[in-house]
Amino acid sequence: MTTPTAVALEDAKVAFRLGDGRVYTAVEKAHLAVAQGEFVAIVGPTGCGKSTLLNVAAGLLKPAAGGVKIFDRPLAGLNRDAGYLFQADALFPWKTALDNVAIGLEIKGMPRAEALPQAQKWLTSVGLGAFANRYPHMLSGGQRKRVALAQVLIRDPKILLMDEPFGPLDAQTRQVMGNLLLDLWNADRKAVLFVTHDLEEAIALADRVVIMSAGPSSRIIGDWRVQLVRPRDIFEVRMDKEFHALHREIWSVLKDEVMKGYAQSSHAAEAV
């Protein structure tokens, strides 16, 4: 295989120093490689540190041990090849939808007059062509996610990092957004690292599904290849026999971790 590796986590360990001086290990020795053009989903129970791992790949967080390589080069500082789609609202509330998208180009030094038409084009391609002059608070949660997607994609990053981007949306909107994401991704197949707690979403979108154990000190405990044909339709793919078989297989592993995760969080609650 000659496909280059876009993101490589090499035994990355993530630890935080707690207020009382103890060290909390969120992720233990994570080893994961995302090839160029590959869509990898990370699934795990709440609190397993999957978002932490994504922040490491983004360069927002330094691993306590191990390393991160982006296109075979060790990552120092922020990951300039990556676009990051956040779970929470990350749009600039004082900019219109159009300005929010155009800013990605303006930062690079492109004149505003040049950036605006491109931003309008991207807004149209996420289905918000008519909403250019709205401020984020005038948009629905799903529309804000679309703007955020356009904001990230207009910079044409080689890698997409997504932290439960559709988490706060309702079930139908999530599926529509999933299809939109797949359509846009199909156009140029960037490397994607997609964090979610929703196994169905992960299988429907990704080429590979990676499962993490319950935290603390969570590890990667499983890695499945999703062979479903592309292009996929999220609504259709869920009816597929293969989808069900894979879902059952992965869930049998994930279920135990989810239970452990719950047990731990309730113990923690008792301790308090």
Residue 263 engages another protein in binding (rule: CB under 8 A): no
- The strands making up 220-225's β-sheet, listed across from edge to edge, are 82-85, 159-163, 191-196, 39-43, 208-212, 220-225
Q: For the segment 105-134, give every residue that binds another protein (CB under 8 A).
A: 107-108
What's the one-letter identity of residue 77? G
Q: Is 160 helix (H, G, I), strand (E, B) or coil?
A: strand
* Choice from 18, 22, 94, 130 touching another protein (CB under 8 A): 94
Query: What is the nearest approach in angstroms of another protein to the Cβ of residue 88?
Result: 5
Q: Is 218 helix (H, G, I), strand (E, B) or coil?
A: strand
Residue 92 engages another protein in binding (rule: CB under 8 A): yes
d(CA 49, CA 30): 11
Q: Is residue 200 a contact partner of residue 246, using CB atoms and an 8 Å limit?
A: no
What's the one-letter identity of residue 6? A
d(CA 165, CA 196): 8
Of 60 and 259, nearer to another protein (C-beta) is: 60
Of 19 and 231, nearer to another protein (C-beta) is: 19
Residue 60 engages another protein in binding (rule: CB under 8 A): yes
How many chain residues are in contact with another protein, going by CB under 8 A? 28
Residue 76 engages another protein in binding (rule: CB under 8 A): no
d(CA 14, CA 26): 6
For another protein, which stretch binds (CB under 8 A), given 73-81, 122-130, 180-188, 203-211? 73-81
Interface residues with another protein (CB under 8 A) are 58, 60, 78-80, 82-84, 86, 88-96, 103-104, 107-108, 135-137, 151-152, 155
